[in-house]
Amino acid sequence: MSTSTHFVWYLSPIGEILMTARDGALTSLYLHGRRSDATISDDWTEGGSILDAARSQLEAYFDGRSQDFNLPMEPDGTPFQRRVWEELGKIPYSETISYAELARRVGKPSAARAVGGANGRNPISVIVPCHRVIAADGTLGGYGGGLDRKLWLLQHEAETLGRDTPKSWTAPTASARRVRG
């Protein structure tokens, strides 16, 4: 017996977000307009209490009133991917680590590329903070939602805490300045 997928759109400072949930747990958060765009199925239902809670917590995050999320989550992925995503959730607000450090933390110190791949497949971005993983040289590295959004998120977190952002986090494109507003 399949369970119903619920969805909601949320307009955030970094663009439209599509969130999905099943069985009272968040299953995805897609940043619209990037490679991770999802299609809404005809059998999905709009709304739901977990999605209302997710939207409320995202609003608090984007307003700088909250640094944490407390939501039940059930992302689809392999056991290895889920381990990487679990470790992402432990990276403190406004802090960054390298892909190599993330690999070490999941017990696979020689698997930075595999860890980077799992990081890139994170289906619950922002809430599971894959944007906090950067290249070993301090530059931003990649981000499935676009480097402009990664830069915005990292700058937002630093500014919320009154911190300066490193010079190595330069805007990768002109679109980063547009998103920042």
Task: Look at domain 79-180 and name its CATH class.
Answer: mainly alpha
Out of 1.10.3470, 1.25.40, 3.30.70, 3.30.160, the CATH code matching 5-62 is 3.30.160
* pLDDT by position in tens, the chain (length 181): 458 999 999 999 999 999 999 999 999 998 877 545 567 888 999 999 999 999 999 999 999 999 999 999 999 999 999 999 999 999 999 999 999 999 999 999 999 999 999 999 999 999 999 999 998 888 888 888 889 999 999 999 999 998 887 777 765 544 444 443 3
DSSP state of 91: S
- Return the ∠ at Cα 12 (arms to 9 and 16), rounded to 5°: 45
What are the sequence ranges of the domains in the chain?
A: 5-62, 79-180
Of the candidates 78, 79, 98, 77, the residue with the CA atom closest to the CA atom of residue 88: 98
Q: How far is CA 33 from CA 7, 37, 123, 146, 153, in A?
A: 17, 6, 15, 9, 17
Annotated catalytic sites, by residue? 130
pTM of the model: 0.88
Same-fold call for 5-62 versus 79-180: no
Rounded to an integer, what distance in angstroms lies between the CA atom of residue 1 and that of residue 20?
Answer: 19
* pLDDT score for 37: 59
DSSP class of residue 99 equals H
